[in-house]
Amino acid sequence: AQSVTQPDIHITVSEGASLELRCNYSYGATPYLFWYVQSPGQGLQLLLKYFSGDTLVQGIKGFEAEFKRSQSSFNLRKPSVHWSDAAEYFCAVGARGQNFVFGPGTRLSVLP
Amino acid sequence: DTAVSQTPKYLVTQMGNDKSIKCEQNLGHDTMYWYKQDSKKFLKIMFSYNNKELIINETVPNRFSPKSPDKAHLNLHINSLELGDSAVYFCASGRPGEKNTEAFFGQGTRLTVV
């Protein structure tokens, strides 16, 4: 069965600093990988996704993520964080015929 | 137009009551889901429906029942509500496993049982 771990429950960064959120998955074949963001009181919005091809994917709001098969990881990065990026971030995995499984989430706080 | 819409956004009710949350999607997806998000923000899948067939039920109490009148709707009915049912419930739709398709989420329904 698929599973997703996000080792960091809460991360705090200063505005303008770089960001990396970690995601590790467990799945026997090549998974479909996603990052979602949830702002306070809101639903989940897709940031980016990986299905195949180039292992570095670009998303909305200046985010990118890199798929590393050898490490079973799909870490999310942003070179310069904005105060509006403060939110909960979820990594998710899907596969053909399987439903989406979400990680526990990482809460991002941004210091002015 | 909102892709996945659910109503109501907030629901406060007493223990023992029966309530429903409605969900509609206009994306033409053939699979719809209900997720429960607890106070620690953990997202747990409750149900998924594919062409009116229930394909997953993740140890959810039988007080919870999904009802799908058609492909575009998946409503959640909850009987005999308990305090522990308080959470945010998200509806979503998608085509699991198909290329370039992710899950699209509604805005959530915050259920508070008092």
B33, B41, B108 ranked by CB distance to A105: nearest: B41
A3: helix, strand or coil: strand
Residues of A in contact with B5 (CB under 8 A): none
Residue whose C-alpha is closest to residue A91's, from A29, A1, A20, A24: A24
Nearest CA-CA distance, residue A102 and chain B, Å: 6
Q: Is the minimum CB–CB distance between B97 and chain A shorter than 8 Å?
A: yes
Judged by CB atoms closer than 8 Å, whether chains meet at A94 and B42 is answered as no
- If residue B91 lies in a helix (H) or strand (E), which one and from where to where? strand B87-94
Handedness of CA A43, B37, A99, A75 (dihedral sign): positive
pLDDT digits 0-9 by tens, A82-91: 999 999 999 9
Nearest CB neighbour to A43, from listed B40, B56, B107: B107
**DSSP string across A21-62:** E--EEE-SSPPEEEEEEE-TT--EEEEEEE-SS-SEEE-GGG
pLDDT of B112 > 60? The answer is yes
Cα radius of gyration rounded to whole Å, chain B:
13
Q: Is B3 at the interface with chain A, CB within 8 A?
A: no
Interface contact A100-B105, CB threshold 8 A: no
Judged by a CB distance cut-off of 8 A, whether residue B62 touches chain A is no
User: Token pair of A87, please?
Assistant: 């939110």
Give me the residues paired with residue A93 across strands. Answer: A33, A101
Q: Per this entry, what is the length of chain B?
A: 114
pLDDT band at A103 (very low <50, low <70, confident <90, very high): very high
Amino acid A53: pLDDT: 87
pLDDT band at A11 (very low <50, low <70, confident <90, very high): very high
B98 pLDDT tier (thresholds 50, 70, 90): low
Taking the CA of residue B15 and the nearest CA in chain A, the distance in Å comes to 24
The pLDDT tens digits for A13-25 are: 999 999 999 999 9
* Residue pLDDT, tens place only, A48-68: 999 888 899 999 999 999 999
The mean-pLDDT minimum among A35-44, B47-56, B58-67, B103-112 falls in B47-56
**What is residue A40's predicted lDDT score, i.e. its pLDDT?**
86
pLDDT above 70: residue B100? no
Query: How many residues in chain A?
Result: 112
- The H-or-E segment that residue B4 falls in is strand B4-7
Over residues B53-59, mean pLDDT? 75
